[in-house]
Amino acid sequence: MTFNVTVLGVGALFGLAGVVSGRKAGHQGATALSGTALTVAVLVVVYFLAGGS
């Protein structure tokens, strides 16, 4: 459980960094948002595969 929470936390940090960098880049905001959504989706799948509830 701790591992899953850690993975999700790290993923959230990377997602936030992607959004911030996307906003700074301006025109790349949509790309950063898509990357964040993809990252979250992958982490959710990994979380459930790892036995998360």
Would you put residue 52 in left (φ > 0), alpha (ψ -120 to 50) or beta?
A: beta
pTM, rounded to two decimals: 0.41
Q: How many domains are contained in the chain?
A: 1
Instruction: Compute the distance between CA of residue 17 and CA of residue 33 in angstroms, rounded to an integer.
Output: 11
What is the domain range of residue 32?
2-49
Render pLDDT for 1-53 as a digit per residue (tens, 0 to 9). Answer: 566 677 777 777 777 777 676 666 665 566 767 777 777 778 777 777 777 65
